[in-house]
Amino acid sequence: MRLSTTDSAGLPTADWVDEFLLKGPAQQICLRLSEPIDRATLRRLVIERQSRLVDAGLRAGGAAALRLPPSVGYLVDLLAVWRTGAQAVLLDHRLTDYEVDQALRRLVPQVLVRARRTGGAALQVFFDVEEEIVRLGADPAGSQHAVIQLSSGSTGPAKVIGRGAADLVAEVRRYTGIDGVPVPGERVILLPSVVHVLGLVGGLLFGLHTGVELQPPSRLSGEAILHAVSAHDTPATVLGVPFHVGLLTSTDQTRRLGQLRRMTIGGEPVPAVTAGAFEDRFGVPLGNMYGMTETGVIATDLHGRHRPGVMPAPGMQIREVAGELWVSRPSSPYVGDSENPRWSAGWLRTRDAGLVDPDSGLVTVRGRLDSQVSVGGLKIDLTEVEWAITALPGVAAVVVVHDGEITAYVQPVGDMTVDAFNQALGERLARYKMPRKVRILDQLPRTTTGKVVRDPSVLRQAAGAALPGRSPRR
């Protein structure tokens, strides 16, 4: 089916919302919370919210900034903005006021939707929200994209990324062609934030289009996730990031759940030892997805057959240029930065090091390109060092950077000394690859999406604020 997503001026239309996302049996459940929400209810809420946004000044061709936690209100506002023919600027509710003000000055939306009051515990996945709409101006959107997102900022300042309605529709259709994705009659236990690309497209838009039920757990804990899986008889896929794997494997669950079909993770790759422990524990595959905010899903291995490799998603073209992965993309995704050197002539430089097998097409992601450094004339891959550290007993998370010298920032499970760490790592890693500094922290700094921060200045600041007695030593 050919779907019209834009009008003659390139602006998003309401058709793709009604035909691609909201269409379906009236009584079909879309979202399972304390009270299930069916399609008829969702359509009614979206139309009502659209009227409120228009009354507040939103117009076709304009933009609305959404600064809301994951909630029914957020989903309804998002669909209502798109149905108006306007652009949605997604601002993570955990951003500071300063970060939000910077984004609003740059993107000049017509209205801002924000939480007046948020109910529920801090570890909830979906919240109860009382919202307010603030009228900001009458300027049109700065671009013709349907959605504006900010990158994770794990390696530095966040980038402003725009994607059109046709691009989002194409990504959802890529998902439907991936072997192992949930099908109608099944559920997705939704853990990642719907503000960011994995939760937004791989969870929300995919679920609405296909009729797969979305069921966030009541809380972000291993026990609550497993309770959500077992709450209904239908098959369930857990969608999350590596952090969520740790939540599940830390539970006391010993009985395997018949409803659990698999867990699929995006974001950073999970070491083979972690994946093996998960699969032994739960008896289901730990699938992996590779993607970017700029493109959405790029390659997958949902059955865990090719680890650490992944296969290109349907329609995605990936090539290797001088050890870097490039992905085909028709236009630059960077808003207000059309000359960004990362995109040129239909190809986006991922800044990820990797290999593409010319025969099978299998893609092996080797980590960030800037993770390869030279020390004393010897090439060292910091990703390799990280993986060696992650495999050590008692390590919860680690970031390795080259900040004048190789420095490891380690978050342990329980107590750990630098001497014990160095002794254990020295048995697994060549001496020239060993970190020259080790910083042991109670918690590594993370972005709002849960990724560990790799900015050396942020890491140094976190190490400087370490508690006495746990203060890092050489």
Q: What is the pLDDT of residue 151?
A: 72
Residue extents of the structural domains in the chain? 15-163, 166-370, 376-464
The two three-digit tokens of residue 257, written as one number: 């759940």
Distance CA 282, CA 274 (A): 12
CATH of domain 15-163: 3.40.50.980
Distance CA 309, CA 343 (A): 24
Distance CA 414, CA 396 (A): 9
Q: Which of 63, 73, 93, 85 is nearest to 6 (CA)?
A: 85
Q: What burial class does residue 185 get, using C-beta atoms within 10 Å of its C-beta: 0-12 exposed, 13-18 middle, 19+ buried?
A: exposed
Distance CA 471, CA 468 (A): 5
Q: Which of 349, 333, 295, 2 is nearest to 144 (CA)?
A: 333
Q: Which of 211, 212, 208 is nearest to 18 (CA)?
A: 208
Return the residue matching tokens 């097998």. 357
Distance CA 324, CA 178 (A): 24
Q: What is the pLDDT of residue 375?
A: 76
Q: Which of 199, 203, 224, 229 is nearest to 214 (CA)?
A: 203
Distance CA 42, CA 219 (A): 23
Distance CA 130, CA 128 (A): 7
Distance CA 267, CA 249 (A): 18
Whether the upstream peptide bond of residue 192 has omega within 30° of 0, thus cis, is no
Considering the entire predicted model, what is its pTM?
Answer: 0.82
Q: What is the pLDDT of residue 214?
A: 97
Task: Print pLDDT tens along the chain (474 aa).
Answer: 456 666 555 555 678 999 999 999 999 999 998 899 999 999 999 999 999 999 999 999 999 999 999 999 999 999 999 999 999 999 988 787 877 888 888 888 999 999 988 776 667 788 888 899 999 988 899 888 999 998 755 444 567 899 999 999 999 999 999 999 999 999 999 999 898 899 999 999 999 999 999 999 999 999 999 999 999 999 999 999 888 998 898 888 777 899 999 999 997 777 777 888 899 999 999 999 999 999 999 999 999 998 889 999 999 999 999 999 999 999 999 987 656 788 999 999 998 889 999 999 999 988 777 777 777 666 787 888 888 898 888 888 899 998 888 999 999 988 899 999 999 999 888 788 899 999 999 999 987 667 788 888 999 999 887 644 443 433
- Read off the DSSP letter of residue 145: -
Distance CA 420, CA 471 (A): 15
Helix (H, G, I), strand (E, B) or coil at 161: strand
- Statement: 376-464 belongs to CATH 3.40.190.10: no
The two three-digit tokens of residue 383, written as one number: 């990703």
Is it true that 15-163 and 166-370 share their CATH fold? yes
- Statement: 166-370 belongs to CATH 3.40.50.12780: yes
- Read off the DSSP letter of residue 255: S
Q: What is the full DSSP assignment across 403-416?
A: SSSEEEEEEESS--
Describe the crossing of helices 242-249 and 272-282 by its angle, rounded to 10 degrees: 40
How does 294-317 read in b/e, with b if 16+ C-beta sit within 10 Å?
bbbbbbbbbebebbbbbbbbeebe
The two three-digit tokens of residue 116, written as one number: 């007046």
